[in-house]
Amino acid sequence: MSTPTQSLQHSEAQARFDLLDVTSYDVDLDLASDEATFRSVTTVRFTSRGGPTFVDLKPVGVTSLHLNGSPLDADLLDRGRLPLDTVAGDNELVVDATMRFRNDGEGLHRSVDPADGKHYVYGMSFMDAAPSIFACFDQPDLKAPYTFHVTAPADWVVVGNAPGTQVETGRWEFATTPPLSTYFVTLVAGPYHLVRDEHDGIPLGLSARASIAKDLDADADELFTMTRQCFDEFHRLFGIRYPFGDYHQAFVPEFNAGAMENPGCVTFRDPLIFSSRVTRGVRIARATTVAHEMAHQWFGNIVTPRWWDDLWLNESFAEYMGNRVTADVTEYDDAWVHNAYARRQWGLVADQRPSTHSVAGNGAFDASAALQNFDGISYAKGSSILKQLNATLGDEVFFAGAIDHFTQHRFGNATMHDLFASWESAGAGDLSSFTSNWLRTAGPDTIALDRAAGVVRRTAPDGHPAERSHALRVASAAPGGTWQVEPLTVDADTTAYAVEEGAAVVLDPYEDTWALVLPDDTTVQALKTLLPTTDDSLLRAGIWNSVRSGFHNAAVDPADVLDLLEAGLPIEDVDDAVFYTLPWLLTKVAALAADPRAALVRIHAAATAKGATAEAGSTLQLSAFQAAVSSATDSGELRSWLAGRVLADGLEIDLDLRWRILVQLAVLGETDREELQAALDAEPTARSRVEHARAVASLPDAQAKAWAWQHFTGELDVPNYELEAIGLGMWRVGQEQLTDPYVDRYFADLPGTVEKRSGWLLADAAESFFPSTSLTESTLAQAHALITDESLDLAIRRRLVDEADELGRRMAIRQRYSPS
């Protein structure tokens, strides 16, 4: 059960900042006495101007509360806030409380590894979660040093933001940290397997669950190598050494995000330790994540935003620098190709939603609302804009400004205005127009070719007027010809651009700018012959992004998308193209084709042929086979693969592929609970548990859907990964007869889920259980009606707005191209 709490508003944070200076935190945690709760004793020392304020605290019970030696009444604690009447000068607050271990990926998350029954704990203090671990003034601009003391079971290892020592069995003492924001504070505790190294005077560490120790050992050399390379490059670019002591990278179970940049102890989701074969693109994703979190040690950790409306100062910079450094100094020099397939559409789609927001100054009035803005705009769009700024300023000015920013505000907080002042002082000139048009104005310009008029048209997004100049490249090719690439500046509503009759024109294929580029029909048709001869992988990525944008806006026929797949896939040599494009066709395109069954058959045939002809043992072959499994409609074929009779040499049915096959058999109704349970019992790993949940929810029977719904309403409780998998498994194309009764129930039950879960998981469940297969006006009307309910939780509303927009777009595609 989740107890509703108040989320800190910006105005409240400003008032508390004006009143207080936090001197230090001393936190003593007992993780050994109980599996459901832990004791937390916090001593906060701070100075005050004198007067009332409050401390953030989310316990299950309070033993004692003392302010300046005087007891406080625990009954005053209200929805996560304890009122304080401070005195002018020095104050000391001591809170002795009992806290709950959580299973939603926030606070102090405790999980049990099904492989061996061992318990693991990690701290995730981001966005309103820190007060469920320790009492604190939970806002980013009240930084303070932390000293931790931890009691843990004797066989546990404990790692934190600062170096720690086991002073006696089960008792750990940690050094005092530099000043940290509350949301950076973490502990990672349990019988973890550790690997240690050192580079350039920095102690390095890796850790993961004991059951995947051999997988961590296998990946350790690559992870340490990337870490060394990134440290060297960041030190070269910034001229400021990493200042937080040890650099530990902890791979932890059931983590919501990709990773969290906690100084001294970065946490990652542990599927990034690979227990099955993965594609090169998945390895690039891990590499860019490692580099992204390392970039945060400067952008975010040395200098932290004062408030969440400047969150882009963290994420956009880390996204840009993570991709750049990965491409420049690691073995993954094709990171920008991966970025095109993996991240571009994430940002563009988010920027076209009704929920779009500016990159900077997004008006986050409280922390809960700010959490919803950690999206493709803050990451992918912001990164693209910073890449444009770097191209304009050049490295010398760009990094001189960044270094000045880090130096002026070291271990403190700053705003976007501070950063841009540093750039302007470094020689950037007046950046006010750039800031206004690119960072403070939401939505993408649409750039499209008007072939008949001989112009390229630039259209600002509705409701968000802007005057943006786009410096981009254009790739064009006459029928049967070769691609010609030329620069084009689009700085007006119309820009002259003559094109040969019948030629394909792809605008901004190298993604030099941030814009929605839509292909015209002549280009789409010409691509069917040009794509098979296009040997530039980045150009192919740009082509596919253009097609995806066109489809998203009901401007490209699903039939044409299928034709392009069949034309281009045989020559594709980048596994990211297969890994991202084929699932998009399966989940977005096939169901909207005139004949969905025939579309699925075509996708399966293309994927199977690619898997059979790709180099044996290659990750290209693997990505094609993954898609072949997920598109299969013949249970006999799937059974043959499950038995190990794969379609080509070089493939081996490992844990990941085995469960992929079982899930697809479940979708088809060609397996049962007994077989799925037997598979889980045979390999009771964390991955197996999640995929087992997905498979059971995917079964085409009423019992499976009722079981799934019990998890949505909170009647049955499971950790975060399983809950999301159950939601996605429940709604399957072709199972509408079973799921239609749950459409009305979704809108009736959704508001009440705030009583069962909170934060990240609350919003994720709202999204994963949305009735995405119900393409009806009634479903859309119910979504819009609930959105207008002013009592609806803001995080739920945001996801509902996005899902309603997606549903409306899918309905528009169907109405235009297959209205029957």
Question: Which amino acids are annotated catalytic?
Answer: 293
Q: What's the burial of 324, exposed, middle or buried (CB within 10 Å: 0-12/13-18/19+)? A: buried
Nearest residue to 18 via CA among 127, 131, 141: 141
Encoding tokens for residue 436? 């206004």
Give residue 592's Cα distance to chain centre.
27
Q: Which helix (H) or strand (E) holds 280?
A: helix 280-296
DSSP 90: E
DSSP 179: S
Angle CA 701–707–713, to nearest 5: 135
705, amino acid identity: K
CB burial of 703-721 (b: ≥16 within 10 Å; e: otherwise) equals ebbebbbebbebeeeebbb
Encoding tokens for residue 289? 């994540």
Alpha-carbon distance of 675 to 330, in angstroms, equals: 43
Helices 596-613, 619-630: inter-axial angle, 10-degree rounding:
160
Give the other-Cβ count within 10 Å of 151's Cβ: 18
Encoding tokens for residue 53? 């304020």
Count of residues making up the chain: 820
What residues does 303 pair with on adjacent strands? 299, 412
Encoding tokens for residue 500? 């040969």
Alpha-carbon distance of 233 to 206, in angstroms, equals: 20
Contact 186, 291 (CB under 8 A): no
Q: Tokens 């999980």 label which residue?
A: 111
Contact 697, 730 (CB under 8 A): yes
> E strands of 200-294, at which residues?
202-208, 247-252, 259-260, 265-269
DSSP 752: G
What residues does 208 pair with on adjacent strands? 193
Alpha-carbon distance of 552 to 558, in angstroms, equals: 10
Alpha-carbon distance of 435 to 318, in angstroms, equals: 19
Q: If you compute the radius of gyration of the chain from its CA atoms, what whole number of angstroms results? A: 27
The H helix count followed by the E strand count for the chain is 28, 28
Encoding tokens for residue 448? 């499209």
Nearest residue to 506 via CA among 566, 553, 581, 448: 448
Contact 24, 45 (CB under 8 A): yes
Contact 585, 561 (CB under 8 A): yes
* CA trace torsion 658, 661, 662, 663 (10° rounding): 120
89-100 sheet: strands from edge to edge: 70-71, 61-67, 89-100, 37-48, 20-30, 146-151, 171-174, 164-168
Beta 171-174 vs 107-112: how paired, if at all?
Answer: unpaired
Encoding tokens for residue 301? 């950790």
Nearest residue to 332 via CA among 101, 619, 533, 745: 619
